[in-house]
Structure 1
């Protein structure tokens, strides 16, 4: 008989169950309290019940958990300092969608050596999220593989569905069952329609194939996630963060009966892949906010300890500590200046501190 399956599969390895990794790295009361309260505050911002702005800020991707924790230790005091004006959540991205080929993130290849030790990657990711939570720092991520949420979603306060996956039925179904607010990015071509359709689709109930807490193949039934929103990230025709684009997007959202408030990604096509232009984008957003715009709920900034980016060297000991290996980032010092400027712009509209 001819062999008809696994013709291109050379290996399968056992994957640790979510239950096992949760047992090894349990959610603590401290972390659960932080995640729950942060999700609630984000929802309040999303529905304009809290005039503060949401800020998702941190490395393009985490490749060194020690550097990420160091970054978090710097960000936590800034979060407290600006808490009257900003809800700062650390960007902690473990999965990287690739246009063609490249390193796929800490979970997929934690040792940066093509060993694909995914079980270790999952453990490192979950431990980092718990460590950050114990610093009082909530986390945001992009969920790419639909199996990943079972391992880490309980420690995540906000999630993105990326420009390449917003059109994916699988990701819309996954989003419909997630427990936190979800930002849907516009397509890489700049079109908003796919993201808006994703918001509509994810708000409804779905039935689909997945795994349960014990790693068993399951039929998953969801209620739908009502807390989706648009993220403007620019496109191949240029940026889309200026007031004209923001007002046009708000009108299109309203016509579909969707929340007309949106986040602006200062990086990617909005910065035209020049990390320094993130400062210009944020300046523009600050001016819109200062002028009284109610359409912008927050921003996303790619930031690390050091400015710029570096290739992955053959000799991993040559990696610069605290510098991105994916998209170029602004430095932490630049980040602090940017966020203080944004906080100043929204401060007149936030008359009293939010109880934390």
Structure 2
């Protein structure tokens, strides 16, 4: 991987030199084509540790020493929670091409806490339906009601993540994600979620449901979209994705700098690189997964823009909802309902 140090290759803290930057990130940031230009421009080595899930990241941070980590990629709705723990440094909007970021994404409420910016949104996408266009009727995919269409019974996989699936069901019921509460979760969403189970042949992680779609074991992925299939579309053009006419659900990831980093200036240069048009094009088309860059000036060619549905983004954004962070009581109830669904 050239100048990139994989997670397993990270040495003890005392072995990290002053000309190294240590980043705790998602897999799309481990791509050499994204990291090598920054390393060469700054004569620095970027040490990468990838993780899945903010809870996992917090465990890694808890086991680390202050100053071990410099840059953090975070699921954007989790920013307030992490910032309030004092883990993130405040940022200056003027350091970034803020006005070039898609308006709905840059104005998301969770980028800032009490008026201070803690995360720069860098990549986003949707939870919708990913599907094999040769196996399904494409017109059926334009509604979330396809989840209960008997035509596809036994031909569906569901991404094993309670958060988006429950919100997608709320949208199908005419609710906004932020309308979900403990009462309507039980009275309205629970029956629809349990009604979905007979339709499903697989509940799995991204790799599992993606492999099932590619192999033909299923024809669609519920709560899948560009991140599940866009990286494969060039070789398998039958793999497509969409969001429902009655609304999609937006996910966003952000870049943050650790408060106890001893290399904040270098870390900020990394953030600026990733948010630049060139960096955004490389991040959006990472070998790990593709998704929309937040910078509207991202360096993408016409073929890449077509795969990411670039020209459709204004409409997608207008009819979609930002994923929200539930309060602990609701989050616990959502997780309990999800376990009932999985085990039913």
TM-score (norm 1): 0.28
TM-score (norm 2): 0.28
| Larger RCO: 1 or 2 (CA < 8 Å, sep 6+) | 2
Q: Which structure has the highest strand share of the two?
A: 2
